[in-house]
Amino acid sequence: MSGFRLIDIVKPILPILPEVELPFEKLPFDDKIVYTIFAGLIYLFAQFPLVGLPKSATPAVNDPIYFLRGVFGCEPRTLLEFGLFPNISSGLLLQLLAGLKVIKVNFKVQSDRELFQTLTKVFAIAQYVILTNIFIFAGYFGEDLSVVQIGLINFQLVGAGFFTTLLAEVIDKGFGFSSGAMVINTVVIATNLVADTFGVSQIKVGENDQTEAQGALINLIQGFRSKHHTFVGGIISAFNRDYLPNLTTTVIVLAIAISVCYLQSIRVELPIRSTRARGTNNVYPIKLLYTGCLSVLFSYTILFYIHIASFVLIQLVAKNEPSHIICKIMGHYENANNLLAVPTFPLSLLTPPTSFFNGITQQPLTFITYSVFVLITGIWFADKWQAISGSSARDVALEFKDQGITLMGRREQNVAKELNKVIPIAAVTGASVLGLITILGESLGLKGKAAGIVVGIAGGFSMLEIITIEYQQSGGQSALNQVLGVPGAM
Amino acid sequence: MASSVPPGGQRILQKRRQAQSVKEKQAKQTPTSARQAGHGGSSSSVLKLYTDEANGFRVDSLVVLFLSAGFIFSVIGLHLLSKFTHII
């Protein structure tokens, strides 16, 4: 032990931090499904409005991170104000820093790994506390809150964050399928997509108690006989209302979803053969989306930090007054629909426009700066992540060696070199293509839905891959067999 | 058959040293992630946060599920309390 290591600072907190026990034995396939579904359901159930907010109709401070919410499963003014963001960001950042040797962790030593994961957890919960109090003192939950109200909001948001962390941990520890944060995120994005299309819940719009359905398709059908629209006006409104999901955005989101599904199937198939037996030829696929949704998640994590930092400066320090020196340098927030806080010039460079025409007329530079930002962060991340995540060319080559596989027509020593020609390029190209799709969708004014669906579909496929492997290995006894009518089952 | 060169390895001393130092460097290098060390964890497309059981305050997985449901019910309770008593 020489010098100070960041992971050592969590040592004193270790005994009081809840730690989910590992399962005694490997759980059956069906149990894992039940755990995963219940963890997802409990998370969805937590989309519950906060207690203790003032009852005034229009809040003074609007939502500054509206376009980031779709990616991290956040719901404004509910228990899930910050959703999964602290978990995902602390995991991504700390693992990246450890991989780049900025934080000293020796992953070979068990105590180091334990400390490292505890650090991840502490960092996540600390972020919940910090974000909650930033939002409280910036006046997001209302001006002049009493001490009781501040305490209550802290209790609710930090408590929700704490349980979100534990739910993700339950799934991670082997009670569910692989990664908790990503499973829950995928569940939330899928639910949101359905709610935006078929949601029947009636939401008040306008002054005279007019209500419209949340779902775009339901709204179109209701528009035929609603009182505050003419017949044609109802149809037009179904396609271009901007306060709730409309059919145009739904169609664009579906188009993005389909194109990501298509990209998912693109891969290079390297021919392999066994070194032990003759005639056993096969292919080893290397997907174009080698880093999956993580590159987009990383770009959005960085965007989130930038926007929270500027929210602190603009709202908390400068009180959003355009004459203040900070607001002159960084821009200020403007109110849109009484819901969103849309930043003005310098900060707007990193904010996707609320609609395509707004973007063209008011912030044309954004298209360039935002695209460059997402592409550069995504590509940089993919390049680093494929090398450090334990699936780099060298690691795959080692795996080949263990399993007695080699690339067709290559000597065993050259496998790593050969894989190195494919894997980094696949990772970087995949990240840039995903980034381009995200940029395209966001430029059309989807307010985070494009990035959300990209993360959801790409993440969902990564999950599906793991679930399928698990099913093939131990799903023989599964009750799913009977439900799906697999031949040979009971 | 005059000089007896040991079989295998690099022929020149300098090269042998180089190979040796490369080997040592690789041995000294710590793995960059839990998966590279062979203990599960994040892969190229999956972000996994928790791999080991740290020495914390142990809780059962079912307890976590029930407590988190209980937490949400407590918030529902707070809603009712504020609705009917106007304390908050």
Q: What is the pLDDT of residues A278-335, one digit of tens each?
A: 877 889 999 999 998 999 999 999 999 999 999 998 888 888 788 888 888 888 888 7
* Strand, coil or helix: A12: helix
Under an 8 A CB cutoff, do B33 and A106 touch?
no
Nearest to A339 by CA among A464, A265, A243: A243
pLDDT at A38: 92
Residues of B in contact with A178 (CB under 8 A): 46, 48
* Total tally of structural domains belonging to chain B: 1
Q: Which residue has the tokens 């022929």?
A: B11
Residue B55 domain-assigned (yes or no) = no
At A439, the pLDDT band (50, 70, 90 cuts) reads very high
For chain B, what is the mean pLDDT? 81
Residue B72 domain-assigned (yes or no) = yes
Nearest chain A Cα distance for residue B12, angstroms: 22
**A147-170 helix and A180-198 helix, angle to the nearest 10 degrees:** 110
If you average pLDDT over each of A5-9, A264-268, A413-417, which comes out highest? A264-268
Under an 8 A CB cutoff, do B65 and A293 touch?
no
Q: Is the pLDDT of residue A417 over 50?
A: yes
Residue B5 domain-assigned (yes or no) = no
Nearest chain A Cα distance for residue B27, angstroms: 12
Lowest mean pLDDT among A295-304, A439-448, B19-28: B19-28
Nearest chain A Cα distance for residue B3, angstroms: 30
Per-residue DSSP letter, A308: H
- pLDDT, tens digit, 9 for 90 and up, residues A386-405: 988 888 888 888 888 888 88
* Out of B35, B72, B79, closest to residue A390 by CB: B35
Residue B69 domain-assigned (yes or no) = yes
Mean pLDDT of A198-214: 77
- pLDDT, tens digit, 9 for 90 and up, residues B30-40: 788 888 877 77
Cβ A28 vs Cβ A474: under 8 Å:
yes
The three-state (H, E, C) secondary structure of A82-140, written as one string = CCCHHHHHHHHHHHHHHHCCCCCCCCCCHHHHHHHHHHHHHHHHHHHHHHHHHHHHCCC
Q: In chain A, which segments carry CATH 1.10.3370.10? A: 6-176, 267-474
**ipTM of predicted assembly, 2 dp:** 0.85
At A490, the pLDDT band (50, 70, 90 cuts) reads very low
Neighbours of A153 (CB within 10 A): 23
Mean pLDDT of A107-111: 86
Cβ A276 vs Cβ A358: under 8 Å:
no
Lowest mean pLDDT among A131-135, A281-285, A345-349, A369-373: A345-349
Nearest chain A Cα distance for residue B14, angstroms: 22
Share above pLDDT 70 across residues of chain A, in percent, rounded to a whole number:
96
pLDDT at B8: 67
* Out of B34, B72, B88, closest to residue A152 by CB: B88
CA atoms of A151 and A146, how far apart (whole Å): 9
Residues of A in contact with B31 (CB under 8 A): 106-108, 390
Contacts of A247 (CB under 8 A, 6+ apart): A216, A217, A220, A238, A239
Under an 8 A CB cutoff, do B49 and A152 touch?
no
Kindly report the pTM of this predicted structure: 0.90
Under an 8 A CB cutoff, do B55 and A91 touch?
no
pLDDT at A203: 77
Residue B6 domain-assigned (yes or no) = no
Classify residue A346 as exposed, middle or buried by CB count within 10 Å of its CB (0-12, 13-18, 19+).
Answer: middle
**Chain A stretch 337-356, residues whose beta carbon is closer than 8 A to a beta carbon of chain B:** none
Nearest chain B Cα distance for residue A110, angstroms: 8
Under an 8 A CB cutoff, do A19 and B53 touch?
yes
Helices (H) and strands (E) in chain B, counts: 2, 1
Q: Is the pLDDT of residue A125 over 90?
A: yes
Nearest to A212 by CA among A236, A237, A192: A237
CA atoms of A213 and A356, how far apart (whole Å): 24
Backbone phi and psi for residue A20, each to the nearest 5 degrees, phi listed first = -70, 135
Neighbours of B6 (CB within 10 A): 6
Per-residue DSSP letter, A315: I
Under an 8 A CB cutoff, do B46 and A463 touch?
yes
**A29-45 helix and A449-474 helix, angle to the nearest 10 degrees:** 160
CA A118 to chain centre: 21
More confident residue, A252 or A355: A252
Under an 8 A CB cutoff, do A385 and B64 touch?
no
- pLDDT, tens digit, 9 for 90 and up, residues A45-65: 888 888 888 776 566 788 888
Q: Is the pLDDT of residue A488 over 80?
A: no
Residues of B in contact with A291 (CB under 8 A): 44-45
Neighbours of A88 (CB within 10 A): 29
CATH number of A6-176: 1.10.3370.10
Residue of A nearest to B32 (CA): A99
More confident residue, A362 or A377: A377
CA atoms of A128 and B71, how far apart (whole Å): 16
Mean pLDDT of A117-143: 91
Contacts of A158 (CB under 8 A, 6+ apart): A125, A128, A129, A132
What is the CA angle A177-A181-A184, rounded to 5?
75
| Domain encompassing residue B67 | 60-88
Residues of B in contact with A19 (CB under 8 A): 53-59
Lowest mean pLDDT among A4-8, A264-268, A374-378, B74-78: A4-8
* Out of B48, B64, B88, closest to residue A20 by CB: B64
Nearest to A78 by CA among A109, A45, A111, A54: A45
Residue B13 domain-assigned (yes or no) = no
Share above pLDDT 90 across residues of chain A, in percent, rounded to a whole number:
34
Residue B23 domain-assigned (yes or no) = no
Domain A267-474 in CATH 1.10.3370.10: yes
Residue B79 domain-assigned (yes or no) = yes
pLDDT at B88: 60
CA atoms of A98 and A37, how far apart (whole Å): 32
The three-state (H, E, C) secondary structure of A137-156, written as one string = HCCCCCCCCCHHHHHHHHHH
Mean pLDDT of A340-355: 81
What is the CA angle A245-A247-A253, rounded to 5?
80
Cβ A265 vs Cβ A408: under 8 Å:
no
CA atoms of A28 and B81, how far apart (whole Å): 42
To which H or E segment does residue A340 belong? strand A340-343
* Strand, coil or helix: A353: coil
pLDDT at B19: 81
Residues of A in contact with B65 (CB under 8 A): 35, 38-39, 42, 167, 170
pLDDT at A207: 63
If you average pLDDT over each of A12-21, A395-404, A456-465, B33-42, which comes out highest? A456-465
Under an 8 A CB cutoff, do A113 and B61 touch?
no
If you average pLDDT over each of A135-144, A203-212, B58-67, which comes out highest? B58-67
